[in-house]
Chain A
Amino acid sequence: MDAITSLFAGFETALTPINLLWALVGVTLGTLVGVLPGIGPALTVALLLPVTAKLPPVSAFIMFAGIYYGGMFGGSTTSILLNTPGESSSIITALEGNKMARKGRAAAALATAAIGSFVAGTIGTMLLTFAAPAIAEIAVQIRPEAKFSLIMLAFVTISATFGGSPLRGLISLFFGLCIGLVGTDLQSGQARFTLGRPELLDGIEFVTVVIGLFAIGETLYVASRLRKDKASVIKLEGNARMTREDWRRSWKPWLRGTALGFPFGAIPAGGAEIPTFLSYTLEKRLTKHPEEFGKGAIEGVAGPEAANNAAAAGVLVPLLTLGLPTSATAAILLAAFQQYGLQPGPLLFITSPELVWGLIASLYIGNVMLLALNLPLAPVWAKLLLIPRPFLYAGILVFSTVGVYSLNNSVFDLFLLALFGIIGYGMRRFDFPVTPAIIGVILGPTAENFSRTALQQSNGDYSTFVRQPLSAFILFIVALSLIVPAVLKSRKASVVS
């Protein structure tokens, strides 16, 4: 078993004291930003990118992986204790989790969420350990045509599934694509859309886009319609813990949630929303306590939380093996790889085995740390929800400013940041999902590169995309995933009217 040998080598990398420290920093930060409203793992990794440029890549990615998993754990605390879910994938958790908390069962809800996340995260990481090298081996042979088609697939599924409207998702994607076009075209040396500004010749830093759309946009939007009543945070007494009965009712939903979540994360189908929703529906159907659903059923927390975390592990499969991010955080991790001059994809397993396996090993370690951080320390994290919002959002803005300014020490970047902040406000106000734009900014240039490579190999013959079998097959699925939802929607509409 090659994977096991490589994994052991990975543990040797991840278990050095300094890397353990980075993992701890990562999971702590991750839980922190997961709990706090207004800031999430995607934003945090983007903010830390300029800062970590001097770290060795292995340590930086071990920290990022901790933030990635930690954000998931932290998010469930918020949705259980505060009845206003932020991330779309924790809406389902809030459904039953907050009801449980209101009935005085907050400790059990937090415990089943944390232990379920641990179980799902660990199983998901194991699946990743074995699936990733196998897929990478096949993926090495994928031709540029098919790589381009795969990116098209990710574009379409992510824009069409995130948010309510495929049209708005696609517009967000195209907005990202045009931001990605700004700057000097590396193949021809021509400036594109630079408006004559020398600052734009190197392109727009994606960190500025991410922080503007997420942090500044969010701050402006929340300020415009701030919740005036004090958000009712449910008080938590003692640790997160479960009774024997809770365990008995939780373990099956954990496993079922994992089984649903991982494959959905691994295929480019757009993140964790669908599997959490499916898991909730499944548990509702299978439960022996249907009367409790809608009033705080523990199965309704255990299943979706496991699905959420398993999907997070699944997302890493296409990211590491194909260089294909399927969530906003994954897209930023991809950009982080590129910052270090690494291109995620099948070759990564051959060129930087130490990094990949150190990263995978650190996921196991991070999961254990997160369980230890979340069960006994749950009351501490719960306190974070009480931070007065004026001070919280002001702090987020200041950190955003530092993050963007320190990229190039340029005031121009801060004006761009304000501009993207206004756009981020508009996207929230007019229901445009932000994730497709981020994916567009980061993957757009890659898509252009692959298409050009493919066309150069075929001497400019555009039919190469449909003549190469794998590429043709993927493009067929792309067409299907654009047409089928539209047809279903119009049929549904005609049935209704």
Chain B
Amino acid sequence: MLDPVPPAVALPSSRRPISVPDLLVALGVVLLGVLLLIGTNQIATSGMNTVVGPKVFPLIVSFGTLGLGVLLTIGALRGHRAEPATEEDTDPNAPVNLASPGLILGGFLLGTLLLQPLGFVFGTAVMYFTVAFAFGERRYGLIAGVALIVALITYLLFTRGLGLTLPPGILKGIL
């Protein structure tokens, strides 16, 4: 968005200034609609004898998404903005901290990548550790211990108890 946000003073007092994040989300919905249309266009209509082809429903969904996105964009341009949700453990007045969710996501992706080579136990232990850390726990030894125990118990519960296959990784032969 290269266009500068119109200054609040330029608007009538009853109108709130445009919120850039809200506008971006609205444009994102429009973009999704456009991408869906392009995707719909790429669906092959085969020679199979179907009265209603595979494109009809996607077309409706694409135009619906596009139309709703446009409505949301108009709303955002008029200064509408979304109220962030309140959850049991959130504080609506707390300053927004994007580092913690970023950390959790990073830990999750790292754990996912380690899942096959190191095995399920260490992969999920990495995830557990980062979430607990991101939520403000600083007793590292404690988190590491709990992370390994939870991961190990989960592994044993799901593989031995419920018969699922999870990657053992470097613990192969030990577990």
Residues of A in contact with B (beta carbons under 8 Å apart): 37-38, 50-51, 54, 78, 82, 84-86, 164, 167-168, 170-171, 174-175, 177-178, 181, 185, 187-193, 216, 218-229, 231, 388-391, 393-395, 397-399, 401-402, 405-406, 409, 411, 414-415, 418, 421-422, 425-426, 428-432, 444, 448, 451-452, 455-456, 459-460, 497
Contact = CB atoms under 8 A, between A and B. Distances in A.
Contact of B54 (A188, A428, A432): A188
B89 A84 contact: yes
Nearest to A177: B61
A174 B65 contact: yes
Interface string B101-114: 10111001101110
B89 A222 contact: yes
Contacts of A192: 39-40, 43, 54, 58
Interface of B: 14, 21-22, 25, 29, 32, 36, 39-40, 43-46, 48, 50-54, 57-58, 61-62, 64-65, 68-69, 71-72, 75, 82-92, 94-98, 100-101, 103-105, 108-109, 111-113, 115-116, 120, 124, 127-129, 131-137, 143, 146-147, 150-151, 154, 158, 162-167
A37 B88 contact: yes
Contacts of A231: 88-89
6 contacts: A178-B32, A181-B57, A189-B46, A225-B97, A394-B129, A415-B109
A460 to B, nearest CB: 4
A86 B68 CA distance: 28
A225 B135 contact: no
Chain A at the B interface: SS class:
helix
A390 B143 contact: yes
Contacts of B109: 415, 418
A227 B90 contact: yes
A180 to B, nearest CB: 9
A130 B49 CA distance: 44
Contacts of A50: 164
A2 B62 CA distance: 47
Nearest 6 Cβ contacts at the A-B interface: A37-B88, A431-B82, A390-B135, A390-B137, A394-B131, A223-B100
Contact of A222 (B90, B112, B147, B167): B90
Nearest to B47: A188
Nearest to B58: A181
Nearest to A174: B65
Contacts of A411: 112-113, 115-116
